[in-house]
């Protein structure tokens, strides 16, 4: 049981590249925290700094109340699961799981009980005497998790553990990880760039962008109140529609494109230019088309349970996406009127990209 605290943690690599620009973060006891962000934003760097595999350039990292900046990885009481499993190929799965305990001087009996317990939890009982190559990808990943569990560490670290698995297995393993973490109650930090994984696993989500934590919050907070254009576009699929507009004279709505209106309940000075964000699932079709966005159907994707409609509007053919429950048919070029409600509209400053 442990907390992890980062104070202005910075990382500059030897080649002078600044990968992290000061991260502040507090991870509570037993919390499942997910780091999400586009490739190269510094997720792995941050995780590896917590693990002690990368040094920290500035700031401090604490596990519980101990500053661990200069503590060796093995002495931080953490366990890590790697994307490519990183199992020792010449050892049996049993030996793979036992290795860390052996190095820490546990007795044979103790090691055996722990490994067998973990194997039972992970349904690996029958595979202990095999070598990692003789297992499927999912089983290997479970061995890697077993290696982490047997240590009973203070903190679990996962670096994209599921990205080498196929889609179906990924869903299964996701549930399994979540269950396991809740059952063991071990503080966890999980890196992914799959936002479904991020949304479903996280107690708390950290959206990173170019070495900065753009927003920290529960998945729902982040979905409902994205702090910036970046977060808004990154979380949610298909991603949020962004429409450039100007606040009307009476401040009651924003004028978009060729004069369509989106109603406002914020107090914003008239004439201000801003970006209006509406999620594809928050548009509805209106019948009369008054005060709504009129757009022409460009393409339809039917997914069975839902239908994605890609439309364009205005003279500049700006695109907008609509997501509807069930199946629907529209002709190409057909004009639809899209409406939304004021509380589902997100407003962002056009220059800074910050939420208004």
Partner 1 sequence: MYQSKWRSIANHVILILGSLFMILPVWIAFVSSTHTREFLFQNGLQFWFGGHFLENYGAILFDTAATKGRVTALEMLFNSMVLGLGFAIGKVIISMMAAYAIVYFRFRLAVPIFWVIFSTLLLPLEVRIVPSYEVVSSLGLLNTYTGLILPLIASATGTFFFRQFFRSVPDELLEAARLDGAGPLRFFIDILVPLSVTMIAAIFIIMFVVGWNQYLWPLLMTTDDQLYTIVIGIKQVYNSLYEGGQIPQFPKAFALTIMATIPPVLVVVIFQRMFVKGLVETEK
Ligand X SMILES: Nc1ncnc2c1ncn2[C@@H]1O[C@H](COP(=O)(O)OP(=O)(O)OP(=O)(O)O)[C@@H](O)[C@H]1O
Binding residues (CB under 6 A) for ligand X: these are 13, 15, 17, 19, 37, 39-45, 193
For the bound state, the minimum distance from the C-beta of residue 74 to partner 1, rounded and expressed in Å, comes to: 4
19 vs 243 by CB, closer to ligand X: 19
58 vs 284 by CB, closer to ligand X: 58
* Alpha carbons 129 and 116: distance in angstroms, whole number: 12
> Residue 207's beta-bridge partner residues?
36, 215
28 vs 40 by CB, closer to ligand X: 40
Q: Which among 248, 222, 228, 212 is positioned nearest to 348, based on CA atoms?
A: 228
Residues that bind partner 1 (CB under 8 A): 51, 53, 72-74, 78-80, 82, 84, 86-91, 99-100, 103-104, 133, 147
103 contact, one of ligand X, partner 1, Mg ion, none, CB 5-8 Å limit per kind: partner 1
33 vs 44 by CB, closer to Mg ion: 44
DSSP readout, 304-317?
SSEEEEEEEETTTT
What lies within 8 Å, CB to CB, of 144 at 6+ separation is 81, 82, 85, 86, 87, 161
Q: Is 192 in the site for Mg ion (CB under 5 A)?
A: no
291 contact, one of partner 1, Mg ion, ligand X, none, CB 5-8 Å limit per kind: none
Measured at CB, which residue is nearest to ligand X? 44
Q: Is 215 in the site for Mg ion (CB under 5 A)?
A: no
Question: Which positions from 38 to 57 touch Mg ion by CB under 5 A, shown as an x/- string?
Answer: ------x-------------
Where in the chain does DSSP place strands (E)? 4-12, 18-27, 32-36, 58-63, 66-67, 78-81, 155-159, 187-192, 204-209, 212-217, 241-247, 253-256, 260-263, 273-278, 284-285, 293-302, 306-313, 318-325, 335-339, 346-349
73 contact, one of Mg ion, partner 1, ligand X, none, CB 5-8 Å limit per kind: partner 1
3-state secondary structure of 173: helix
Please report, as ranges, the residues that interact with Mg ion according to CB under 5 A. 44
């Amino acid at each position: 049981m442990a907390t992890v605290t980062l104070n202005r943690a910075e990382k500059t690599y030897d080649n002078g590249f600044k990968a992290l620009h000061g991260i502040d973060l507090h991870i509570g006891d037993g919390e499942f925290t997910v780091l999400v962000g586009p490739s190269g934003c510094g997720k792995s760097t941050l995780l590896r700094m917590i693990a002690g595999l990368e040094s920290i350039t500035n700031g401090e990292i604490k596990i519980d109340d101990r500053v661990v900046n200069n503590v060796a990885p093995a002495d931080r009481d953490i366990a890590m699961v790697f994307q490519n499993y990183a199992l020792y190929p010449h050892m049996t799965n049993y030996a793979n799981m036992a290795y860390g305990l052996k190095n820490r001087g546990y007795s044979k009996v103790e090691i055996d009980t722990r490994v067998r317990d973990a194997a039972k939890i992970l349904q690996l009982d029958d595979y202990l005497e095999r070598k990692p190559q003789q297992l499927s990808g999912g089983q290997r990943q479970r061995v890697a998790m077993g290696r982490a569990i047997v240590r009973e560490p203070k903190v679990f670290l996962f670096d994209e553990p599921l990205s080498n698995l196929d889609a179906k297995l990924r869903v299964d393993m996701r549930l399994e990880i979540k269950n396991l973490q809740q059952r063991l109650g071990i503080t966890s930090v999980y890196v992914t760039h799959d936002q479904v994984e991020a949304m479903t696993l996280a107690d708390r989500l950290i959206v990173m962008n170019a070495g900065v934590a753009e927003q920290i919050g529960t998945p729902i907070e982040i979905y409902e109140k994205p702090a910036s254009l970046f977060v808004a576009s990154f979380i949610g699929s298909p991603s949020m529609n962004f429409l450039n507009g100007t606040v009307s004279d009476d401040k009651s709505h924003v004028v978009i494109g060729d004069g369509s209106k989106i109603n406002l309940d914020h107090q914003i000075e008239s004439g201000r230019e801003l970006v209006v964000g509406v999620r594809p699932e928050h548009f509805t079709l209106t019948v009369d088309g008054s005060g709504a966005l009129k757009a022409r159907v460009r393409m339809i994707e039917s997914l069975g349970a839902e239908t994605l409609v890609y439309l364009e509007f205005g003279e500049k053919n700006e695109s907008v996406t609509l997501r509807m429950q069930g199946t629907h048919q529209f002709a190409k070029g057909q004009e639809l009127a899209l409406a939304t409600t004021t509380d589902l509209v997100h407003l962002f400053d056009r220059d800074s990209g910050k939420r208004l």
